[in-house]
Amino acid sequence: MNIIAVEFFIYCLVLLTIGYAFSKRSKTHSEFLLGGKKLPGWALAFSERATGESAWLLLGYTGFVFMTGLSGIWVAVGIAIGIIFAWLFLAKKFMQETDKYHVLTLPDYLAVRFGQKAKVIRWLTSILIASFLMFYVGAQMAGAGKMLFTTFGIPHAAGIILATIVIIIIAFAGGFISVVWTDMIQSVMMVITLVALPIMAFFYIQSHGLSITESLYQAGPTFNSWFGGLTGFSIGVLFFNNFSWFFGFLGGQPQLSARFMALKNNKQAKQGSIVAITWTILAYGGAFMIGLAAITMYDQGSFKDVEIILPTMILDLFSPWIAGLLLAGVLAAIITTADSQLMVITSSISEDIIHKTFKMEFSEKQFVWISRLTIVVFGVIGMIIALVSESLLYLVVSWAWAGVGCTLSPAILLTFFWKKYSSAGVVATVVSGLISTIIWISTPLEGMITSKFTTFLIAGCLGVIFSLVLPDQNDANVPKEETI
């Protein structure tokens, strides 16, 4: 354990050093929030993937597969298709729209694009993002607590506090540029962990005469079925409930879309798409196989919390030196996602509310410090949520995915590809998505069909209906922003 502790310390020190080094490059508000269009496509792709995946993938999804068996594959399929679609069909569009409208955030883009209700759109989208992403941040910090408890026996609360300090320092120091470069290192660490662990697990399974197929049969009657042993309509429900993560990747996750907005040109976008798609196939394939290997290695019911399976497997299968490096990959996922989400919340507060809505003018240096103070405040709020929450990572992230991604994705798709989409339609999309998600996850409806699908459907339909009933007053591509 001493060896692992030393490697953890060195790893955190490296991340903090990178954060400090890049803090000197974020001199303007634009650079602090979006990197000033100075980052290479491959680095943004690694950052987008590390940001999109998190403790949810390494801890939550692997535990989910352990509890469900083969049918857990549909989550990975839905996510992979969503990522591929986003990089191939939306990344360049985001880049072009950012250059055209000179915006720094997703809420600002929608507000400028539909200027007749700009203030309302900024307020609604900022509230939506801040409220749901705070729980997402809290989930990452809770994941840190689980990992540090499993690895070192550190009390859960102490692990959360320690991770929060590292997360806040990195984002505070260098903003977007710092986060992207630390993301790049962490993204590589994550994929190494997700590829190396199942390979080692399969060697262990073979050497001990174990069988994955037989273990799936013994785990339960549904584990060896790609559709969970269901038939008829129930298969459709299972498919939508798992596959529906796809809908959140269609442009509506601001922490991911920010990477598309930061791209410099088409060449960089193509380069990024190759990196991101390759990473996705390796990472999700590895995570799924880890879950199956865990079913073979451990009995059902042997874990009080299934979301500690991955760090437990690492400690069981690898020497302390290698285990320390791979567990750093888990920590990487937590830090990078939490940092990126804090940056999104910060940009919504400093750019969309303080700067654009309240029209408050400060110097570039002052805006940077406002952003930094916002990072500290919301980082502490996220820590408090992690300390008091008992929800599983998988569920918390799923709800946040519905509330933000599956609400804003139809807004982005309609904006990009439907000329009749109006400012009233945007408001209807955001409001209906927010309300429907809260209602759905608070009632037994969530157990019938996931809010990730219903939120996307309801928000998209109401956006279309209100756009047809309440079209904008003119047909100009860039309506003048409201001044009231």
pLDDT value of residue 164: 85
- Give 459-477 pLDDT, tens digit per residue: 999 999 999 999 987 644 4
Q: Phi/psi zone of residue 175: left (φ > 0), alpha (ψ -120 to 50 degrees), beta? A: left
Q: Is the pLDDT assigned to residue 391 strictly greater than 60?
A: no
pLDDT value of residue 174: 57
Q: Is the pLDDT assigned to residue 251 strictly greater than 50?
A: yes
What residue ranges define each of the domains in the chain, with the CATH number in brackets? 2-30+39-103+131-394 (1.20.1730.10)
Are 104 and 354 a contacting pair, CB within 8 Å?
Answer: no
Averaged pLDDT of the chain: 82
- Give 327-378 pLDDT, tens digit per residue: 876 776 677 677 777 877 877 777 777 767 677 777 767 777 787 788 888 8
Q: Phi/psi zone of residue 35: left (φ > 0), alpha (ψ -120 to 50 degrees), beta? A: left
In degrees, rounded to 5, the angle at the alpha carbon of residue 86 between the alpha carbons of residues 274 and 114 is 140
- Give 4-52 pLDDT, tens digit per residue: 777 777 777 776 677 667 666 555 555 555 556 778 899 999 988 887 7
pLDDT value of residue 147: 73
- Phi/psi of residue 349, nearest 5 degrees: -75, -55
pLDDT value of residue 240: 67
- Phi/psi of residue 389, nearest 5 degrees: -90, 140
Lowest-pLDDT range, 81-85, 149-153, 324-328? 149-153
Q: Is the pLDDT assigned to residue 484 strictly greater than 50?
A: no
Between 439 and 8, the more confident residue is 439
Q: Is the pLDDT assigned to residue 233 strictly greater than 80?
A: no
- Give 392-406 pLDDT, tens digit per residue: 555 667 777 788 888
Residues 6+ apart with CB under 8 A from 335: 15, 140, 144, 163, 166, 167, 170, 182, 186
pLDDT value of residue 477: 46
In angstroms, what CA-CA distances link 50 with 246, 259, 313, 334? 17, 11, 22, 9
Cα–Cα distance for residue pair 446/451, rounded to 1 Å? 6
- Give 161-193 pLDDT, tens digit per residue: 888 887 787 777 656 777 787 778 878 888 888
pLDDT value of residue 480: 47
DSSP letter for 25, please: T
pLDDT value of residue 10: 79
pLDDT value of residue 483: 38
Our CA dihedral for 91, 95, 101, 106, rounded to 10 degrees, sits at 50
